[in-house]
Structure 1
């Protein structure tokens, strides 16, 4: 599920069935001016699953290979040639073929939040492991000029799981190209529900940047600000290449503005996690990068 910020929360759906494109035609009557359907496939190989998003109607992606066959680059390149993006799915899901054994290199994004278990357990240890792995890679990725964004997916196997979690993507229009461009650039953030709204910005002097954007900073202080609603008594944490650098609790009504200051010399990027009092995730963002 996708929420497009720039279009008054117009929804989009990503349709990805396991190893088939036969369900693509079922979505035709549902798509319209107020609902964008992005076609895709969950490619379920013996050594990991991945998502091909933005494929043509009826386009099937080969899944009959594993790590030892060295075929993954070929299939990822096919999706890219058609304008689609490729996502490493649930890297730490603990069942045969569920753990992602391929390198992330070549993939456009990593699924750090998978909600397939149930609406009663929207965040678990497998998601925590995926988030930690992605978070550890951010410093070197940002330093090398491009980070691999994080996304969330319902991976719905039961009723009541759709949009748990979902992605909020600023986009120039309600089109497959615009939404995929926002995801590819890391402009998105992940929400537990439509009841959560947030904005993350970093500013230095008169310059500012948001999620997935780059702030050019010199020697002046950088002010990072999170505005959020919808997480009563939640705990906000700011993360940089130095790890967790700031924590602050939200009031009982779940609304607040959290500020923190840094410099370009101290922080290459800032990202945010917002958790419920018990520790489960409510929302998380991709980073704002800070460069000289």
Structure 2
């Protein structure tokens, strides 16, 4: 444990693997009801490997988290930058670093602040773009951010999905199609925005990181090597295969004009629908068995699909999991 009280940048982890994490969490150091100790314990119970502390416009709690990190539990330092016309997450900032928030849309100050986060090796995430309260809707150009939080768990009552998330997903999906055709795209992520007991990890982001460290987790999120789960009860893997070559979520697959088999394996969502989405919208959909375990395959080409991403929904239509794309070239 570091003497400073700040959490270390590295945990032992499992080497290169999939890790589950929630990067939008509030404690008693801003407007949350739980202490860091309670949040760390709840995160472990929820099956998380890492979290990020993101108090509103403050770093006061940064030095309180070091004692709660462990060999198998990583804690990233961050801030929810709560401006007058939208919120964004500064993830992976330096211990004690505070990012300015006193500006609104149209003020160039946000560009300076985004630059400060990136200079610290951090990541800038547009938070809950369609949140239903004053200052909650994100009114800055989303393309200036590194990642979009398309799934936020705070304003969802007893279900971790609502119309505001649906709107954020639809907007991201449209921008994704355009971005991939232009050779660039922004990954999606999901977080709980925990303030109260029982919220942590609902939803969370599952990343393929080279190790369990702050730089590796941020690199995985930045690259889109990730998918979003409503809870640790849901598991998902997606691969695209052609002529002996394989790519996973967030990767690029060179097809050389050959057909591509996209395979999605899902566990933990009973009677769910699994939708395959491309730049042409949802192009294929199948239903899982009542057991909640199944593998679905779909055949396409790079001429027909610039990318493929997956949505897994419960029978009532609420989201259970969604992925970043596999890009087909």
| Range class of TM-score, shorter chain | over 0.9
Separation in 2, partners of 1:242, 1:7: 29
* 2:276 maps to 1:238: yes
Instruction: Note if contact 2:19-2:207 (Cα within 8 Å) is conserved in structure 1.
Output: no
Q: For 2:70, what is the secondary structure of its paired residue?
A: coil
1:86 aligns with 2:124: yes
Shift of 1:186: 0.1
Q: Where does residue 31 of structure 2 map in the other structure?
A: none
Alignment pair present for 1:260 and 2:271: no
CA distance in 1, matches of 2:51, 2:280: 36
What are the equivalent positions in structure 2 for 1:147-158 lying under 5 Å apart? 147-158=185-196
Contact 2:86 2:140 in 1 (8 A): yes
Question: Which SS does the other structure have where 1:128 is aligned?
Answer: helix
RMSD of aligned Cα (Å): 1.5
Match of 1:221 in 2: 259
Tell me how far 1:7 sits from its aligned partner.
Answer: 6.1
Deviations 1:87-132 (A, max 9, x none): 0000001211000000012211000000013561210000000000
The equivalent residue for 1:50 is: 88
Name the CA distance, whole Å, in 1 between partners of 2:18 and 2:266.
19
- Shift in Å at residue 265 of structure 1? 0.5
CA distance in 1 between partners of 2:110 and 2:299 (Å): 42
In 2: Cα distance, 1:33 partner to 1:53 partner: 21
C-alpha distance after superposition, 1:122-164 (max 9, x if no partner)? 1000000000000011111112222100000110121100000
Check conservation: 2:18, 2:206, Cα contact below 8 A: no
Q: Are the counterparts in 1 of residues 128 and 151 from structure 2 also a CA contact under 8 Å?
A: yes
User: Is this contact kept in 2: 1:16–1:40, CA < 8 A?
Assistant: yes
The 5 A counterparts of 1:1-292 are: 6=17, 11-117=49-155, 120-291=158-329
Using the alignment, how far apart are the partners of 2:252 and 2:18 within structure 1? Answer: 23
User: Unaligned 5+ residue runs, structure 2?
Assistant: 1-12, 21-47
Cα distance in structure 2, aligned partners of 1:110 and 1:117: 17
SS in 2 for 1:18: coil
CA contact (8 A) 2:143 2:186 kept: no
Secondary structure of residue in 2 paired with 1:169: strand
Secondary structure, counterpart of 1:170 in structure 2 = strand
Q: Judge conservation of contact 1:233–1:251 (CA < 8 Å) in 2.
A: yes
Report the 3-state secondary structure (helix = DSSP H, G, I; strand = E; otherwise coil) of the residue aligned with 2:106. helix
Post-superposition Cα deviations, 1:234-260, rounded to whole Å, max 9, x if no partner, equal: 010000001110010000010000111
Distance 1:179 1:257 in 2: 28
Asked if the contact 1:118/1:158 (under 8 Å) is kept, the reply is: no
Runs of 4+ with >3 A deviation:
7-10
Distance in 2 between residues matched to 1:8 and 1:51, nearest whole Å = 20
Q: Once the 2 structures are TM-superposed, how far is the Cα of residue 71 of structure 1 from its aligned partner?
A: 1.3
Ranges in structure 1 where 5+ consecutive residues have no aligned partner: none
245-254 or 214-223, which deviates more: 214-223
Aligned length, in residue pairs: 289
Three-state SS of the structure 2 residue aligned to 1:25 is helix
Using the TM superposition, give the Cα deviation of residue 179 of structure 1 relative to its aligned residue in structure 2, in angstroms.
0.3
SS of the residue corresponding to residue 68 of structure 1 reads coil
